[in-house]
Structure 1
């Protein structure tokens, strides 16, 4: 397990005649993209940085091939995929199975000049990368592994305030307090049945009416159609805003305005982002499709930190320091870069 040295933010600023070049690499899916971009942006907040986004997508024939068989990953890419070629970045931040063949080759291709950081559990020996940043609940082992409570993300007070400005007029029509309800959907481990959706509707209605709150509801693309219809129809008469995926996404504005945040238990990203606000996070139960052991460890960690509690049907209030694991990860990456590349870019 990696133990970053104690540093000050001033010591992490890299003196150079040009900004640090950081590539944020993913397959473009929002949940993965936001993790790599969030960490890159956190680095940029500590030292002058140019962020370059790269999306890796394979042709259909090769899309499901295991990493070990992608021996020529460059020629296997779709035409609309970003090319991975020189000049290479100072720091490579990648996440997702699609990025692994390129991450594994980056140190050799850059002749050791690029620091290779892989997010999530690569399911490969961690020593094949310079650093692996993985959720604690994945229990990834290795001397260069930095475990985090949850995932990296793009939620900062500055971003929430900036994004909220676009929704200020719409939100001004309603009165505080606000309750943000973030609904996920079907995954390998969870689902929302019509019966579960009905139960959530009744509980949310009771909470909103009992505390005279304004509802801010967001449903996911993964939300099953039947559950989506039940939730939106059952709650549409309440004061507030319901976002179903069309038009501008008010997600950050919802987090900024919320006094309470309700999050379904299927999403590590949403729960971690909610915990970054310092507001009470209530974890909504779903229907289990698997053992859910990893999610159990994650939610236990959030509870021990003080950010989240299982949804009781009541809007209870508590305080805790906003969870800021992305900033901790950014400091660790810069500290390692300074240690391993002391003469680069100076």
Structure 2
């Protein structure tokens, strides 16, 4: 995938890494030159959020309007989708033609402005959304990870874990989700369950946190992990984060159930995936997705009594299917 100033496809990105990963997964699978445009927003007042109004900063507006217009715009999330709708109208008024819009997730507003809306099967508004003619339902969240990319990252981190006994179990730690907290108490429970699974397997843990991991959770992880393990705390420097490397090196994966993107990415190596989500902790959409992953044979739930079993996983990534929808829009533009 290349990023070019003038390209037929634009990916509109903002400060949400999970949303950006979904957008990048689709445009990468599309396999055509793309331009990544980073969005910044003016302050959003509560009444604007309720009415779906999103105001890009003047600098963002000027930059988007000054560039050669695209034929297709791909977005994920409410705010990026709102900017895509504004840009479609602005270009139509100026040029008499407008780009096609493909949006991932429920845009909340202006559904008819999008040529295609991709909705995950765990969405709380699925029954209402799937009745629309411009909606496609998929399982999971698209992402840009591939086995080849994980293999490359694995070589970069292999020396950091070569002394650990196998099986090596990657532990991917997220953070708070809405009112659900991944705090010190939850982190202790995760550490205990992960350590017990590694003990039963006779192996070790490769633990990495994320940008969303709370300081108190990190502290209790450090104090509570038992048995052979390494723990890498998230750093703003990308090269210091072993997320991809640990996924590539893992014989199995434990992932906290608070991030749709992280849950889906964890299935990429097609190794055993265990979801850590104590009863009542996960939000309803996340719990629905956990059940879908289990039903698909892609994951099992982790608890105090989970036995070690080297079963084969199932990779989940709808990026290629969504890219087919995007390619059809390009052909009609």
Q: Are 1:93 and 2:86 counterparts? A: no
State the Cα distance separating 1:213 from its structure 2 match: 1.4
> Is structure 2 residue 63 aligned with structure 1 residue 83?
yes
How do 1:228-267 residues align onto structure 2 when only pairs under 5 Å count? 228-235=218-225, 238-246=227-235, 247=237, 248-267=240-259
What is residue 34 of structure 1 aligned with on the other side?
A: 21
Measured in 1, the distance between the counterparts of 2:153 and 2:37 equals 24
Contact 1:42 1:326 in 2 (8 A): yes
Q: 1:318 aligns with which of 291, 311, 315?
A: 311
Aligned mates of 2:242, 2:60 — CA distance in 1: 29
Structure 2 spans left out of the alignment, 5+ residues: 1-5
Contact (CA 8 Å) 1:276, 1:322: kept in 2 or not?
yes
User: TM-score when scaled to structure 2?
Assistant: 0.84
Whether the 8 Å CA contact 2:30–2:323 is kept in 1: the answer is: yes
* 1:144 CA displacement: 1.4
Indicate whether 1:160 and 2:150 are aligned. Answer: yes
| 1:178–1:214 Cα contact (<8 Å) kept | yes
* Deviation by residue 1:1-23 (Cα, 9 ceiling, x = unmatched): xxxxxxxxxxxxxxxxxx96221
Instruction: Provide runs of 4+ in structure 1 moved above 6 Å.
Output: none
Q: How far is the alpha carbon of 1:70 from its aligned partner?
A: 4.0
SS in structure 1 opposite 2:141?
coil
Task: Give, in whole Å, the separation in 1 of the partners of 2:250 and 2:320.
Answer: 23
Pick one of 174, 178, 191 that aligns with 2:181: 191
Q: Distance in 2 between matches of 1:258 and 1:320?
A: 12
TM-superposed deviation, 1:63: 9.0
Relative to structure 1, is the Cα distance of residues 82 and 154 closer, same or farther in structure 2, using a 3 angstrom cutoff? farther
Match of 1:219 among 186, 199, 209: 209
How far did residue 230 of structure 1 move?
A: 0.9
SS at match of 2:69: coil
Instruction: Tell me the CA shift for residue 180 of structure 1.
Output: 0.7
TM-score by length of structure 1 reads 0.81
Shift of 1:125: 4.7
Q: Which residue of 2 aligns with 1:282?
A: 274
Deviations 1:144-171 (A, max 9, x none): 1121211111111121122223223323
Q: Deviation string for 1:151-208 (max 9, x for gaps)?
A: 1111111211222232233233434321011111212152234333222222222222
1:259-278 Cα distance to aligned partner (Å, 9 max, x none): 11111111111111112321
Compared CA separation, residues 225 and 254, structure 1 to 2 (3 A): same
Whole-Å separation in 1 of the counterparts to 2:136 and 2:250? 31
RMSD: 2.6
